[in-house]
């Protein structure tokens, strides 16, 4: 009885409790210092143009308030990547409703929009990525399911696949058919969407509202009569460009006076939005402000003038000094010529025999710290592919087309390895003269080739196995 009362109170007050800041920072730019730009994503009901906010900058122990910041917004709409995570229902009626919902969203989208779908249930997992409007309409049909008894575990698996799909322009929506489920611990950490909010469409239950509280976004009651119109209104507003806050740093005239590497910015709105970030003006900007400052400009110019006068005086005195005897320079030149001949007889012509005389030689000697004979005897391949043998996506093939291919658990890696034990930049494969060389990028767990940890760059051969953490790739080449 006590548990039922507590659950009722939570569900009753959850719309207020689940509210998160309606503002999300998309980007920051201080490259044009003293002008600083903040790009903030807002919501239609809370436009930033009508919002009261405060910006403070801190340097060391001193804090100053930013005066007269400007709020700007670029005209027009931007293309949006709509990502839908759809749980297949067990009845034809709810699947048809979800299908109509998806199709209406696609039809109201922009011409340059693109879509990604993940359909999931206990017995189903279908991923459709980067579809244009026409293909999205044909794929937007929610398949049937035999059951949804493991919704929490299924959601955990689905969110693990989001890293390779989400972009900065993604509009992430989750459509849940299950009326009650338990959130897995992985989703409670709030790290599964790269900072993007989630729009949750489903039944009003604790887990759905908890997702909105953790990740931000909006909750849309699937039983509401205005569900579609409300969702489309917010979806249309998301197409607008983010609001830009532009201001001049209050430290622009004297930021160089203290030995402080960075400036901290605190932004806070009246609706609870709050964030902090730091930046450091570039070296060129710092020099420009230092030199143009009245307290530095005059002493600096005076010092440079004195140095110039001293240099001119020394040059004038040097021109009046007697030079060496006429035959001395010629004797020195002959001596240098004799030394050069002896050096060439002992060591050979260093210019023509050096690898630096040949661009190909430079490339090998600098980028391939392996034995030259071993390198020349190695197999040469035109094409190469990595095939995942063990890991989260067995059978996945990744062709190696670039001169340098980075493997790691980070967005900037060429081959993204979804393994928590793998560094963001773990290993690298370089193609040199049609040989493929494997490097370990000083990773924590190390890189293994055919079960042995590599301590130096190793040349790859067909059917070699590369291990990074718990993920194993097979190197195929021809």
**What CATH number is associated with residue 428?**
2.60.200.20
Query: Is residue 385 a part of any domain in this protein?
Result: yes
Rounded to whole angstroms, the Cα distance separating 198 from 219 reads 9
Rounded to whole angstroms, the Cα distance separating 26 from 244 reads 10
Query: Is residue 252 a part of any domain in this protein?
Result: yes
465 and 415 assigned to the same domain:
yes
178 and 55 assigned to the same domain:
no
201 and 129 assigned to the same domain:
yes
Query: Is residue 136 a part of any domain in this protein?
Result: yes
Q: Which of 204, 238, 272 is the last residue of a domain?
A: 238
85 and 231 assigned to the same domain:
yes
What residues pair up with 387 in beta bridges, in sequence order?
397, 474
Q: Please give the pLDDT value at position 322.
A: 52
Query: Is residue 429 a part of any domain in this protein?
Result: yes
CATH number for the domain spanning 222: value is 3.40.50.410
Q: Which of 206, 238, 270 is the last residue of a domain?
A: 238
| Domain span at 92 | 81-238
472 and 388 assigned to the same domain:
yes
131 and 231 assigned to the same domain:
yes
| N-term to C-term CA, the chain | 69
Query: Is residue 329 a part of any domain in this protein?
Result: no
What residues pair up with 84 in beta bridges, in sequence order?
117, 173
Quote the pTM value. 0.54
What is the DSSP annotation of 81-142?
EEEEEEEPPSSHHHHHHHHHHHHHHHHTS-TT-EEEEEEEETTEEEEEEEE-HHHHHHH--P
What does each C-alpha distance from 367 to 213, 375, 378 come to in angstroms?
Answer: 50, 12, 16
Q: Collect the ranges in the chain with pLDDT lower than 50.
A: 1-19, 324, 333, 335-336, 338-340, 342-368
Strand 274-279 and strand 464-468: the pairing is: unpaired
Burial 63-95 (b: 16+ CB within 10 A, else e): eeebeeeebeeeeeeeebbbbbbbbbbeeeebb
102 and 224 assigned to the same domain:
yes
94 and 230 assigned to the same domain:
yes
Q: Please give the pLDDT value at position 320.
A: 64
Rounded to whole angstroms, the Cα distance separating 373 from 247 reads 61
Query: Is residue 323 a part of any domain in this protein?
Result: no
Q: Which of 238, 271, 296 is the last residue of a domain?
A: 238
Give the pLDDT confidence of 359-370 residue by residue, as tens digits.
Answer: 444 344 444 456
CATH number for the domain spanning 254: value is 2.60.40.10
179 and 254 assigned to the same domain:
no
Query: Is residue 467 a part of any domain in this protein?
Result: yes
Give the total number of structural domains in the chain.
Answer: 3
125 and 234 assigned to the same domain:
yes
Cis amide leading into 34 (omega within 30): yes
What does each C-alpha distance from 276 to 59, 113, 215, 264 come to in angstroms?
Answer: 13, 32, 18, 7
128 and 70 assigned to the same domain:
no
From the list 238, 227, 232, 233, the residue with the least C-alpha distance to 204 is: 227
Give the pLDDT confidence of 422-457 residue by residue, as tens digits.
Answer: 999 999 999 988 899 999 988 899 999 999 999 889
Q: Please give the pLDDT value at position 14.
A: 39
Q: Please give the pLDDT value at position 359.
A: 41
Query: Is residue 422 a part of any domain in this protein?
Result: yes
Q: Please give the pLDDT value at position 23.
A: 82
What does each C-alpha distance from 411 to 123, 402, 407, 408, 417 come to in angstroms?
Answer: 30, 17, 10, 8, 10
176 and 60 assigned to the same domain:
no
Q: Please give the pLDDT value at position 358.
A: 44
């Amino acid at each position: 009885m006590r548990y039922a009362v507590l659950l009722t109170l939570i569900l009753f007050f959850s719309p207020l409790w689940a509210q998160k800041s309606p503002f999300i920072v998309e980007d920051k730019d201080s490259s044009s210092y003293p002008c600083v730009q903040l790009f903030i994503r807002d919501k239609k009901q809370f436009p930033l143009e009508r919002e009261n906010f405060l910006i403070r900058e801190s340097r060391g122990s001193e804090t100053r308030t930013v005066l007269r910041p400007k709020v700007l917004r670029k005209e027009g709409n931007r293309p949006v990547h709509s990502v839908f995570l759809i749980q297949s229902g067990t009845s034809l009626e709810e699947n048809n409703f979800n299908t109509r919902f998806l199709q209406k969203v696609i039809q109201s989208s922009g011409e340059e929009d693109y879509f990604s779908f993940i359909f999931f249930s206990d017995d189903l997992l279908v991923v459709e990525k980067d579809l244009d409007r026409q293909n999205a309409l044909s794929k937007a049909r929610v398949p049937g399911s035999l059951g949804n008894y493991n919704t929490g575990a299924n959601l955990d698996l689905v969110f693990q696949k989001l890293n390779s799909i989400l972009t900065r322009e993604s509009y992430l929506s989750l459509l849940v058919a299950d009326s009650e489920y338990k959130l897995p611990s992985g989703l409670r950490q709030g790290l599964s969407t790269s900072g993007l909010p989630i729009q949750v469409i489903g039944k009003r239950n604790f887990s759905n509202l908890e997702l909105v509280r953790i990740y931000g976004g909006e909750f849309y009651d699937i039983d509401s009569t205005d569900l579609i119109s409300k969702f489309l209104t917010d979806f249309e507003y998301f197409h607008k460009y983010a609001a830009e806050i532009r201001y001049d740093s209050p430290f622009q005239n004297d930021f160089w006076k203290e030995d402080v590497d960075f400036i901290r910015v605190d932004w806070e709105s009246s609706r609870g939005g709050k964030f902090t970030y730091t930046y450091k003006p570039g070296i060129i900007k710092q020099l420009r402000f230092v030199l143009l400052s009245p307290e530095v400009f005059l002493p600096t110019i005076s010092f440079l003038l004195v140095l110039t006068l001293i240099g001119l005086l020394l040059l004038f005195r040097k021109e009046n000094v007697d030079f060496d005897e006429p035959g001395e320079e010629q004797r020195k030149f002959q001596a240098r010529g004799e030394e050069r001949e002896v050096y060439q007889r002992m060591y050979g012509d260093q210019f023509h025999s050096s690898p630096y005389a040949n661009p190909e030689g430079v490339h090998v000697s600098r980028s391939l710290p392996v034995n030259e004979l071993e390198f020349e005897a190695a197999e040469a391949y035109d094409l190469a592919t990595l095939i995942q043998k063990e890991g989260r996506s067995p059978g996945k093939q990744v062709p190696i087309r670039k001169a340098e291919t980075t493997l790691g658990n980070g967005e900037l890696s060429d081959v993204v390895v979804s393994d928590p034990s793998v560094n963001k930049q773990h290993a690298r494969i370089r193609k040199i003269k049609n040989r493929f060389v494997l490097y370990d990028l000083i990773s924590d767990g190390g890189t293994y080739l055919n079960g042995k940890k590599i301590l130096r760059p190793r040349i790859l051969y067909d059917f070699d196995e590369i291990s990074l953490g718990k993920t194993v790739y097979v190197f195929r080449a021809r």
